[in-house]
Amino acid sequence: MKDQAPPLADLDYELLRRAILDRLGLDYPPHKRDLLRLRLAARLRVHGMRRFTEYYRLLKFEGSDDEWMQVANAVTNNETYFFRERHQFEQLGALAPTLAHRSDVLRVLSAGCSSGEEAYSLAMVLGNVLGGRRPFQVMGVDVSTAKLDQGRRAVYSPRSMRDNHPPPCGVDTNTHLEVEGDGSLKASRALQAQVTFRWTNLADPKLAATLGTFDIVFCRNVLIYADDSSMPRFHRSLEQLTALGGHLFLGHAESLLGTQAAFEPVRLGEHFAYVRGAPPARASHY
Ligand SMILES: C[S@@+](CC[C@H](N)C(=O)[O-])C[C@H]1O[C@@H](n2cnc3c(N)ncnc32)[C@H](O)[C@@H]1O
Protein backbone atom coordinates (compact mmCIF):
# COMPACT_ATOMS: atom_id res chain seq x y z
CA MET A 1 0.00 0.00 0.00
CA LYS A 2 1.33 3.44 -0.92
CA ASP A 3 2.02 5.78 2.00
CA GLN A 4 -0.06 8.94 2.33
CA ALA A 5 2.90 11.32 2.62
CA PRO A 6 3.28 13.81 -0.25
CA PRO A 7 6.42 13.74 -2.42
CA LEU A 8 9.42 15.72 -1.24
CA ALA A 9 10.89 17.74 -4.12
CA ASP A 10 14.67 18.26 -4.38
CA LEU A 11 14.60 21.91 -3.34
CA ASP A 12 12.23 21.33 -0.40
CA TYR A 13 14.43 18.48 0.77
CA GLU A 14 17.56 20.66 0.64
CA LEU A 15 15.85 23.55 2.46
CA LEU A 16 14.34 21.37 5.18
CA ARG A 17 17.58 19.40 5.60
CA ARG A 18 19.52 22.67 6.08
CA ALA A 19 16.94 24.14 8.49
CA ILE A 20 16.99 21.01 10.69
CA LEU A 21 20.78 20.87 10.64
CA ASP A 22 21.02 24.53 11.67
CA ARG A 23 18.43 24.30 14.42
CA LEU A 24 18.90 20.81 15.86
CA GLY A 25 22.32 19.78 14.55
CA LEU A 26 20.85 16.61 13.01
CA ASP A 27 21.68 15.61 9.47
CA TYR A 28 19.38 13.87 7.02
CA PRO A 29 21.75 12.84 4.20
CA PRO A 30 20.32 11.64 0.87
CA HIS A 31 19.90 8.02 1.96
CA LYS A 32 17.60 9.22 4.77
CA ARG A 33 15.59 11.60 2.58
CA ASP A 34 12.54 9.34 2.48
CA LEU A 35 12.66 8.89 6.24
CA LEU A 36 12.56 12.68 6.62
CA ARG A 37 9.58 12.84 4.25
CA LEU A 38 7.68 10.23 6.27
CA ARG A 39 8.56 11.74 9.63
CA LEU A 40 7.51 15.29 8.70
CA ALA A 41 4.33 14.24 6.88
CA ALA A 42 2.34 14.23 10.13
CA ARG A 43 3.17 17.91 10.64
CA LEU A 44 1.75 18.74 7.22
CA ARG A 45 -1.45 16.91 8.13
CA VAL A 46 -1.73 18.85 11.41
CA HIS A 47 -1.53 22.12 9.46
CA GLY A 48 -3.80 20.93 6.65
CA MET A 49 -0.98 21.31 4.12
CA ARG A 50 -0.45 19.24 1.01
CA ARG A 51 3.04 20.36 -0.01
CA PHE A 52 6.37 20.46 1.82
CA THR A 53 6.99 23.89 0.28
CA GLU A 54 4.18 25.28 2.43
CA TYR A 55 5.55 23.61 5.54
CA TYR A 56 9.07 24.90 4.89
CA ARG A 57 7.66 28.44 4.57
CA LEU A 58 5.82 28.01 7.87
CA LEU A 59 9.01 26.92 9.62
CA LYS A 60 11.14 29.58 8.00
CA PHE A 61 8.87 32.60 8.38
CA GLU A 62 6.55 31.77 11.28
CA GLY A 63 8.41 28.85 12.88
CA SER A 64 7.40 29.16 16.52
CA ASP A 65 9.35 27.40 19.26
CA ASP A 66 6.33 25.12 19.68
CA GLU A 67 6.44 24.05 16.05
CA TRP A 68 10.17 23.37 16.33
CA MET A 69 9.47 21.22 19.43
CA GLN A 70 7.14 19.17 17.27
CA VAL A 71 9.80 18.90 14.56
CA ALA A 72 12.31 17.70 17.16
CA ASN A 73 9.81 15.10 18.40
CA ALA A 74 9.29 13.93 14.82
CA VAL A 75 12.82 13.81 13.44
CA THR A 76 14.92 12.52 16.34
CA ASN A 77 15.88 8.87 16.60
CA ASN A 78 15.15 7.84 20.20
CA GLU A 79 16.31 4.22 20.37
CA THR A 80 17.44 3.36 23.92
CA TYR A 81 17.17 0.73 26.66
CA PHE A 82 18.32 0.07 30.24
CA PHE A 83 22.06 -0.63 30.68
CA ARG A 84 22.80 -0.21 26.98
CA GLU A 85 26.51 -0.82 26.38
CA ARG A 86 26.67 -2.44 29.76
CA HIS A 87 30.46 -2.30 30.06
CA GLN A 88 30.31 1.49 30.36
CA PHE A 89 28.13 1.17 33.45
CA GLU A 90 30.70 -1.26 34.93
CA GLN A 91 33.38 1.38 34.23
CA LEU A 92 31.24 4.04 35.85
CA GLY A 93 30.80 1.77 38.87
CA ALA A 94 34.57 1.49 39.28
CA LEU A 95 35.16 5.17 38.65
CA ALA A 96 32.44 6.89 40.68
CA PRO A 97 33.76 6.11 44.19
CA THR A 98 37.14 7.56 43.22
CA LEU A 99 35.55 10.79 41.98
CA ALA A 100 33.18 11.31 44.83
CA HIS A 101 35.48 13.72 46.67
CA ARG A 102 35.39 16.20 43.79
CA SER A 103 32.25 17.99 44.92
CA ASP A 104 29.68 17.63 47.70
CA VAL A 105 27.11 16.15 45.35
CA LEU A 106 28.26 14.05 42.42
CA ARG A 107 26.51 15.53 39.38
CA VAL A 108 25.90 13.13 36.51
CA LEU A 109 24.35 13.96 33.15
CA SER A 110 22.62 11.79 30.58
CA ALA A 111 22.91 14.07 27.52
CA GLY A 112 20.48 12.92 24.86
CA CYS A 113 18.63 10.79 27.41
CA SER A 114 15.64 9.98 25.18
CA SER A 115 12.91 8.36 27.36
CA GLY A 116 15.15 8.13 30.42
CA GLU A 117 16.36 4.51 30.59
CA GLU A 118 19.99 5.70 30.51
CA ALA A 119 19.43 8.23 33.31
CA TYR A 120 17.68 5.64 35.53
CA SER A 121 20.42 3.08 34.74
CA LEU A 122 23.02 5.63 35.91
CA ALA A 123 21.08 6.23 39.14
CA MET A 124 20.74 2.47 39.85
CA VAL A 125 24.48 1.91 39.41
CA LEU A 126 25.49 4.97 41.45
CA GLY A 127 23.09 4.00 44.23
CA ASN A 128 24.79 0.61 44.46
CA VAL A 129 28.42 1.65 44.26
CA LEU A 130 28.16 4.76 46.44
CA GLY A 131 25.87 2.99 48.91
CA GLY A 132 24.50 6.19 50.42
CA ARG A 133 28.00 7.37 51.41
CA ARG A 134 27.93 10.14 48.88
CA PRO A 135 24.95 12.07 47.53
CA PHE A 136 24.52 12.17 43.78
CA GLN A 137 22.10 13.67 41.28
CA VAL A 138 21.35 12.48 37.77
CA MET A 139 19.92 14.83 35.17
CA GLY A 140 18.57 13.68 31.81
CA VAL A 141 18.36 16.22 28.99
CA ASP A 142 16.97 15.86 25.51
CA VAL A 143 15.53 17.95 22.68
CA SER A 144 12.45 15.71 22.39
CA THR A 145 9.69 16.86 24.76
CA ALA A 146 7.73 13.67 24.00
CA LYS A 147 10.59 11.48 25.23
CA LEU A 148 11.23 13.68 28.29
CA ASP A 149 7.56 13.29 29.22
CA GLN A 150 7.97 9.53 29.10
CA GLY A 151 11.07 9.80 31.29
CA ARG A 152 9.04 11.75 33.85
CA ARG A 153 6.22 9.18 33.73
CA ALA A 154 8.91 6.50 34.21
CA VAL A 155 6.81 3.67 32.75
CA TYR A 156 8.51 1.32 30.28
CA SER A 157 7.69 -1.68 28.16
CA PRO A 158 9.58 -4.91 28.93
CA ARG A 159 11.56 -4.26 25.71
CA SER A 160 13.37 -1.49 27.55
CA MET A 161 15.05 -4.27 29.55
CA ARG A 162 16.19 -6.14 26.45
CA ASP A 163 19.80 -6.67 27.55
CA ASN A 164 19.68 -10.26 28.83
CA HIS A 165 22.92 -10.07 30.81
CA PRO A 166 22.76 -9.62 34.59
CA PRO A 167 22.61 -5.87 35.42
CA PRO A 168 26.03 -4.25 36.03
CA CYS A 169 27.62 -3.62 39.44
CA GLY A 170 25.32 -6.07 41.23
CA VAL A 171 22.24 -3.89 40.68
CA ASP A 172 19.00 -5.66 41.64
CA THR A 173 16.49 -4.19 39.19
CA ASN A 174 13.59 -5.70 41.17
CA THR A 175 14.17 -3.17 43.93
CA HIS A 176 14.07 -0.22 41.50
CA LEU A 177 11.58 -1.22 38.79
CA GLU A 178 8.11 -2.38 39.78
CA VAL A 179 6.23 -4.70 37.41
CA GLU A 180 2.75 -3.31 36.71
CA GLY A 181 -0.35 -5.44 36.04
CA ASP A 182 0.10 -5.17 32.27
CA GLY A 183 3.77 -6.20 32.43
CA SER A 184 5.17 -2.69 32.07
CA LEU A 185 7.99 -1.55 34.34
CA LYS A 186 7.67 1.51 36.56
CA ALA A 187 10.62 3.18 38.24
CA SER A 188 10.17 3.25 42.03
CA ARG A 189 9.53 6.58 43.73
CA ALA A 190 12.98 6.40 45.32
CA LEU A 191 14.64 5.95 41.93
CA GLN A 192 12.58 8.74 40.37
CA ALA A 193 13.63 11.07 43.18
CA GLN A 194 17.27 10.71 42.08
CA VAL A 195 16.64 11.76 38.48
CA THR A 196 15.42 15.04 36.99
CA PHE A 197 14.65 15.77 33.35
CA ARG A 198 15.20 19.05 31.52
CA TRP A 199 14.74 20.11 27.94
CA THR A 200 17.78 21.39 26.10
CA ASN A 201 19.25 21.59 22.62
CA LEU A 202 22.83 20.28 22.64
CA ALA A 203 23.41 21.92 19.25
CA ASP A 204 23.08 25.28 21.01
CA PRO A 205 26.10 25.66 23.35
CA LYS A 206 24.71 28.83 24.99
CA LEU A 207 21.58 26.97 26.01
CA ALA A 208 23.51 23.92 27.20
CA ALA A 209 25.78 26.14 29.33
CA THR A 210 22.78 27.13 31.50
CA LEU A 211 22.66 23.60 32.96
CA GLY A 212 25.93 24.01 34.91
CA THR A 213 28.75 21.46 34.96
CA PHE A 214 28.75 17.74 35.70
CA ASP A 215 31.38 15.34 37.05
CA ILE A 216 30.29 12.59 34.69
CA VAL A 217 28.59 13.03 31.32
CA PHE A 218 27.14 10.18 29.30
CA CYS A 219 26.45 11.40 25.75
CA ARG A 220 25.95 8.25 23.75
CA ASN A 221 24.46 7.71 20.32
CA VAL A 222 23.75 11.40 19.84
CA LEU A 223 26.79 12.60 17.85
CA ILE A 224 26.23 9.92 15.19
CA TYR A 225 23.33 12.01 13.86
CA ALA A 226 25.38 15.23 13.53
CA ASP A 227 27.50 16.21 10.53
CA ASP A 228 30.85 18.00 10.15
CA SER A 229 29.18 21.41 10.22
CA SER A 230 27.16 20.85 13.41
CA MET A 231 29.64 18.63 15.31
CA PRO A 232 31.70 21.56 16.72
CA ARG A 233 28.55 22.94 18.39
CA PHE A 234 27.90 19.59 20.12
CA HIS A 235 31.56 19.46 21.19
CA ARG A 236 31.33 22.97 22.61
CA SER A 237 28.23 22.00 24.59
CA LEU A 238 29.97 18.92 25.98
CA GLU A 239 32.97 21.02 27.00
CA GLN A 240 30.71 23.42 28.88
CA LEU A 241 28.76 20.62 30.53
CA THR A 242 31.75 18.59 31.73
CA ALA A 243 33.57 19.95 34.80
CA LEU A 244 37.36 20.34 34.53
CA GLY A 245 38.72 16.86 35.24
CA GLY A 246 35.26 15.38 34.72
CA HIS A 247 34.64 12.28 32.59
CA LEU A 248 32.76 12.00 29.31
CA PHE A 249 31.47 8.70 27.92
CA LEU A 250 30.50 8.51 24.23
CA GLY A 251 28.80 5.68 22.34
CA HIS A 252 30.92 2.92 20.76
CA ALA A 253 30.58 4.44 17.25
CA GLU A 254 31.54 7.93 18.43
CA SER A 255 34.90 9.54 19.06
CA LEU A 256 36.55 12.91 19.65
CA LEU A 257 39.82 11.83 18.01
CA GLY A 258 41.13 14.41 15.60
CA THR A 259 38.82 17.16 16.89
CA GLN A 260 39.66 20.35 18.74
CA ALA A 261 37.50 19.45 21.72
CA ALA A 262 39.14 19.91 25.12
CA PHE A 263 39.14 16.24 26.14
CA GLU A 264 41.90 13.67 26.54
CA PRO A 265 41.18 9.97 26.06
CA VAL A 266 41.68 7.95 29.24
CA ARG A 267 41.82 4.17 29.50
CA LEU A 268 39.26 2.55 31.78
CA GLY A 269 39.85 -1.19 31.88
CA GLU A 270 39.64 -2.51 28.32
CA HIS A 271 37.80 0.55 27.04
CA PHE A 272 38.23 4.28 27.24
CA ALA A 273 36.41 7.50 28.09
CA TYR A 274 37.48 11.16 27.93
CA VAL A 275 38.66 13.53 30.64
CA ARG A 276 37.96 17.23 30.31
CA GLY A 277 41.10 19.36 30.15
CA ALA A 278 41.60 23.07 29.58
CA PRO A 279 40.00 24.35 26.38
CA PRO A 280 42.37 24.99 23.45
CA ALA A 281 42.74 28.57 22.20
CA ARG A 282 40.24 28.99 19.39
CA ALA A 283 40.18 31.54 16.64
CA SER A 284 36.67 30.65 15.52
CA HIS A 285 33.42 30.94 17.41
CA TYR A 286 30.55 28.46 17.27
C1 LIG B 1 19.50 7.29 19.87
S2 LIG B 1 19.01 8.22 21.26
C3 LIG B 1 20.25 7.73 22.45
C4 LIG B 1 19.67 7.61 23.84
C5 LIG B 1 20.69 7.18 24.88
N6 LIG B 1 21.73 8.18 25.05
C7 LIG B 1 21.29 5.85 24.54
O8 LIG B 1 22.44 5.79 24.09
O9 LIG B 1 20.60 4.84 24.68
C10 LIG B 1 19.57 9.87 20.81
C11 LIG B 1 18.86 10.95 21.60
O12 LIG B 1 19.56 12.19 21.37
C13 LIG B 1 18.59 13.21 21.30
N14 LIG B 1 19.13 14.37 20.58
C15 LIG B 1 19.44 14.46 19.28
N16 LIG B 1 19.82 15.71 18.96
C17 LIG B 1 19.78 16.42 20.12
C18 LIG B 1 20.05 17.77 20.43
N19 LIG B 1 20.43 18.66 19.51
N20 LIG B 1 19.90 18.16 21.71
C21 LIG B 1 19.49 17.29 22.66
N22 LIG B 1 19.19 16.00 22.41
C23 LIG B 1 19.34 15.56 21.15
C24 LIG B 1 17.42 12.58 20.57
O25 LIG B 1 16.21 13.27 20.80
C26 LIG B 1 17.42 11.17 21.14
O27 LIG B 1 16.52 11.01 22.18
Domains and their CATH numbers in the chain? 10-75 (1.10.155.10), 86-276 (3.40.50.150)
Q: How far is CA 160 from CA 2, 73, 113, 118, 204, in A?
A: 31, 19, 13, 10, 29
Protein residue with least CA distance to atom 2, ligand 1: 78
Residues of the chain whose pLDDT is less than 50? 283-286
- From 27, 39, 73, 142, mutation site for ligand 1 pocket: most ligand atoms within 8 A of C-beta: 142
pTM: 0.95
d(CA 249, CA 255): 10
Ligand 1 proximity of 24 Cβ (cutoff 6 Å): yes
- Tens of pLDDT, residue by residue over 73-129, are 999 999 999 999 999 999 999 999 988 666 689 999 999 999 999 999 999 999 999
112 Cα to the center of ligand 1, angstroms: 3
Crossing angle of helices 33-46 and 10-24, rounded to 10°: 90
> With contact defined as beta carbons under 8 Å apart, do 155 and 183 qualify?
no
Ligand 1 proximity of 112 Cβ (cutoff 6 Å): yes
Q: How far is CA 102 from CA 97, 99, 106, 117, 201, in A?
A: 10, 6, 8, 26, 27
Q: How many CB atoms lie within 10 A of CB 183?
A: 8
- Provide the pLDDT for residue 259: 86
d(CA 176, CA 34): 40
**Strand-pair partners of 247:** 216, 275
Ligand 1 proximity of 84 Cβ (cutoff 6 Å): yes
Long-range contacts of residues 150-155, Cβ cutoff 8 Å, at least 24 apart: 150/115, 150/116, 151/113, 151/114, 151/115, 151/116, 151/119, 151/195, 151/197, 152/116, 152/197, 154/116, 154/120, 154/186, 154/187, 154/191, 154/192, 155/180, 155/184, 155/185, 155/186
Ligand 1 proximity of 78 Cβ (cutoff 6 Å): yes
Q: Which atom of ligand 1 is nearest to the CA of 202?
A: 20
Ligand 1 proximity of 196 Cβ (cutoff 6 Å): no
